[in-house]
Amino acid sequence: MAAEQPLNPAMAEDRRYRLMVDSITDYAIYMLDIAGTVISWNAGAQRFKGYTAAEIIGQHFSRFYTEPDRAAGLPQRALDTAMREGRFEAEAWRVRKDGSRFWAHVVIDPVRDENGELTGFAKITRDLTARMLAQEELRRSEEQFRRLVLSVTDYAIYMLDPEGRVASWNAGAAKIKGYTADEIIGQHVSRFYTEEDRAQNLPERGLATAALDGRFEREGWRVRKDGTTFWAHVVIDAIRNEAGMLVGFAKVTRDMTERMQTQQALEQAQQALFQSQKMDAIGQLTGGVAHDFNNLLMAIIGSIELLKKRIPEHPRVTPLLDNAMQGARRGAALTQRLLAFARKQELNLRSIDLPALVRGMTDLLRRTLGPLITIDTQLPDSLASIQADANQLELALLNLTMNARDAMPQGGSIVIAAREETVPDGGPAGPLVPGRYVCLSVTDSGEGMDEATLKRAAEPFFTTKGIGKGTGLGLSMVHGLAEQSGGRLVLTSETGKGTTAELWLPLAQAAEAQTVAAPADVAAQTATRTLTVLAVDDDRLVLMNTVAMLEEMGHSVLEATSGPQALEILRQHATIDLLITDEAMPQMTGLQLAKVVQAERPGLPIILATGYAEVPRDAMLPKLSKPFFQEDLARAVASAMNRQG
């Protein structure tokens, strides 16, 4: 048998290349003749396209193209391009044997012999379907995200380049800041900052912080296209590429103006509630102290009055008694102011013509305030009547103007004005009952108050006038009058710009019956006969003085220290002509006692002695306000007996 001839080196190398190509499975590598017919086929081609070598060799390579591509002549154009330019490369859909498609990267190179004659084409195809699908999914995801960002309207989301210039713009940015994309892209982000922030380089500092720390977050005022400002929550994130280089910034801005305003309103409401609770607590304490002080004053005043009548005039004793009485009267006035603040004074509410009341006081105010103060009244010709206590309102106006004078030691001007206002569901310094009000204002050009002083201005005994120059009860008295009348005291002030005190008072009801004071001559009449009087008070000091005053007036007096004891005495003595009882007593109040007495002894005159206005307005009984003098007691007794007569 003949020995096998050894291969020459060239043939051996060709065989090695063929074995290598045939073993490649990740690429389809095969040859085409000049006409495009398949003349070789490797394992990769079989894996990608599904044909065996026997099935495809001799077939035209166009069968790997889709129908639209074949109809467009793409297979031949690919060969022509490779022949003309020396190479053809493209990516497109190709078709497998089973009809399914795959995304192919195709390279076609012309093959020439030693003489340069074209002998066919080398075709390499790679299946990139997985990569293409991943890229397509990424593209769709990016497109969805882009559309999402662009369609968001509650947030301004946009990109900045490394220098801070706007590179993208979404619908939220256009809505919040007012610029269209064409107007703002390419402009610097500092355009959205206020002048003050730009002067402090806040835009640059924000970008620098984001670049250094990766993130910058802050709230502050920003400016819209129309120049208006809004409260913004801003987040700036640095964007870096794969190499870690800064390529720009992502900026997210949210308009927080409404939330900020809501938060401010909540804080103001909480402060108003706290202030109201504090003032109410102080009022409760003040009212209790004033009530007890009234009883002490009753004992002092009654005793001094009786001493003055029983001790003859003496040059060394009488002035002392007069001085003690003057001090007691000042104490009574102080108590009335405390009760006014505590809203427990007895008010005679009636319809008042406010312009007439103010004009009637103008001359008195000018004399009281002095020549350095000018008073200007700005009162409308027609102003609805208000519901208030005329005497207390005059005192309130006097207090307000005197406070204004004290705030202008070098002189100045005071403007007294009035206007009608409608309150729909709340007033300027807390809730007011909806309705019509008259606002009486006193404005001065004085020193004004800082915020801390303004908050405490209406508290009792708080004063900035120094020791001995004021009790600190003027504004607290006005505050109490306004509250008890169904209105509100509103103070506004600023250091160096004066103060305005507004007294809001409700309009008088059209059908309200005006209170008519009893004629002085009738009220001043004294009883023409000796009376048997039952005096009731749980405070023995007050009871002793009341009994002494009545006995000084010539009456016979029985004493009781409680309601039940008074009922026992009444049931034992049918000759009692008059009952004088304190209202605030334990076990049984004066009003409760009066109701029982009226049921058992109809027609018996009853007087309620009260330290403050704790008696309901519908209690149709004569009232005697503590502390009272003997003349007040005499007038009350005469009035009660005249009613019976």
- pLDDT one-digit tens code per residue, 488-540: 888 888 888 888 988 888 888 633 433 333 334 434 444 457 899 999 998 88
Give the mean pLDDT of the chain: 79
CATH number at residue 633: 3.40.50.2300
- 316/530: higher pLDDT: 530
CATH number at residue 492: 3.30.565.10
200/65 same-domain check: no
94/182 same-domain check: no
pLDDT of 244 above 80: yes
Edge-to-edge order in the sheet of strand 28-32: 28-32, 118-127, 101-112, 88-95
Q: What's residue 518's pLDDT?
A: 38
Whether the Cβ atoms of residue 164 and residue 189 lie closer than 8 Å to each other: yes
Q: Would residue 117 count as lying in a domain? A: yes
Share of residues in the chain with pLDDT > 70 (%): 76
- 296/106: higher pLDDT: 106
218/241 same-domain check: yes
**Alpha-carbon span 559 to 166, nearest angstrom:** 93
Quote the domain boundaries for residue 375: 350-506
- pLDDT one-digit tens code per residue, 580-637: 998 888 889 888 999 999 999 998 999 988 765 455 554 578 888 777 778 888 888 9
- pLDDT one-digit tens code per residue, 50-85: 999 999 999 999 999 999 999 999 999 999 999 999
Whether the Cβ atoms of residue 463 and residue 474 lie closer than 8 Å to each other: no
> Which of 286, 306, 341 is the C-terminal boundary of a domain?
341
Q: What's residue 43's pLDDT?
A: 87
Q: How far is CA 235 from CA 42, 162, 218, in A?
A: 58, 16, 7
CATH number at residue 250: 3.30.450.20
Q: What's residue 294's pLDDT?
A: 66
589/607 same-domain check: yes
User: Residue 221 CB: number of other CB atoms within 10 A?
Assistant: 15
Q: What's residue 14's pLDDT?
A: 53
Whether the Cβ atoms of residue 464 and residue 407 lie closer than 8 Å to each other: no
Q: Would residue 145 count as lying in a domain? A: no
Whether the Cβ atoms of residue 230 and residue 224 lie closer than 8 Å to each other: yes
Share of residues in the chain with pLDDT > 90 (%): 31
Contacts 24+ apart (CB under 8 A), 432-435: 432/487, 432/488, 432/504, 433/486, 433/506, 435/506, 435/507
pLDDT of 4 above 60: no
Q: Would residue 276 count as lying in a domain? A: yes
Q: What's residue 436's pLDDT?
A: 86
- 276/552: higher pLDDT: 552
pLDDT of 344 above 70: no
- pLDDT one-digit tens code per residue, 12-35: 555 665 666 666 777 888 999 999
pLDDT of 202 above 60: yes
499/358 same-domain check: yes
Q: What's residue 138's pLDDT?
A: 67
Q: Would residue 412 count as lying in a domain? A: yes
- Identify the helix (H) or strand (E) that includes residue 30: strand 28-32
* 346 confidence band (pLDDT: 50, 70, 90): low
Q: What's residue 462's pLDDT?
A: 47
> Which of 283, 315, 341 is the C-terminal boundary of a domain?
341
* 342 confidence band (pLDDT: 50, 70, 90): very low
Whether the Cβ atoms of residue 70 and residue 95 lie closer than 8 Å to each other: no
pLDDT of 339 above 60: no
pLDDT of 564 above 70: yes
500/535 same-domain check: no
* 310 confidence band (pLDDT: 50, 70, 90): confident
Query: Residue 78 half-sphere exposure, CB side, CA atoms within 13 Å?
Result: 27
* 131 confidence band (pLDDT: 50, 70, 90): confident
- 337/395: higher pLDDT: 395
β-pairing, 412-423 vs 435-444, is antiparallel
Distance linking the first and last C-alpha atoms of the chain: 169
Q: Would residue 140 count as lying in a domain? A: no
| 609, amino acid identity | A
Nearest Cα neighbor of 399 from 371, 430, 369 is 369
Read off the pTM: 0.39
Neighbouring residues of 528: CB distance < 8 A, sequence distance ≥ 6: none
195/120 same-domain check: no
Secondary structure class of 530 (helix, strand, coil):
coil
294/213 same-domain check: no
Q: Would residue 379 count as lying in a domain? A: yes
209/184 same-domain check: yes
Q: Would residue 513 count as lying in a domain? A: no
Q: What's residue 337's pLDDT?
A: 53
**Alpha-carbon span 53 to 65, nearest angstrom:** 18
**Alpha-carbon span 390 to 356, nearest angstrom:** 11
> Which of 476, 506, 536 is the C-terminal boundary of a domain?
506
**Alpha-carbon span 192 to 221, nearest angstrom:** 9
* 9 confidence band (pLDDT: 50, 70, 90): low
pLDDT of 286 above 70: no
CA dihedral 297, 298, 303, 305 (to 10 degrees): 100
Q: Would residue 621 count as lying in a domain? A: yes
Q: How many domains does the chain fold into?
A: 5
Omega into 627 within 30° of 0, i.e. cis? yes
Which parts of 445-541 are beta strand (E)? 488-493, 499-506, 532-536
Neighbouring residues of 155: CB distance < 8 A, sequence distance ≥ 6: 170, 172, 252, 253, 254
Minimum mean pLDDT among 19-28, 274-283, 335-344, 597-606: which range?
Answer: 335-344
- pLDDT one-digit tens code per residue, 442-489: 998 888 887 777 666 555 444 555 444 444 445 666 776 677 777 888
- 309/101: higher pLDDT: 101
530/482 same-domain check: no
Q: What's residue 519's pLDDT?
A: 39
pLDDT (average), residues 282-293: 55
pLDDT of 415 above 80: yes
pLDDT (average), residues 338-347: 50
**Alpha-carbon span 193 to 187, nearest angstrom:** 13
pLDDT (average), residues 383-389: 83
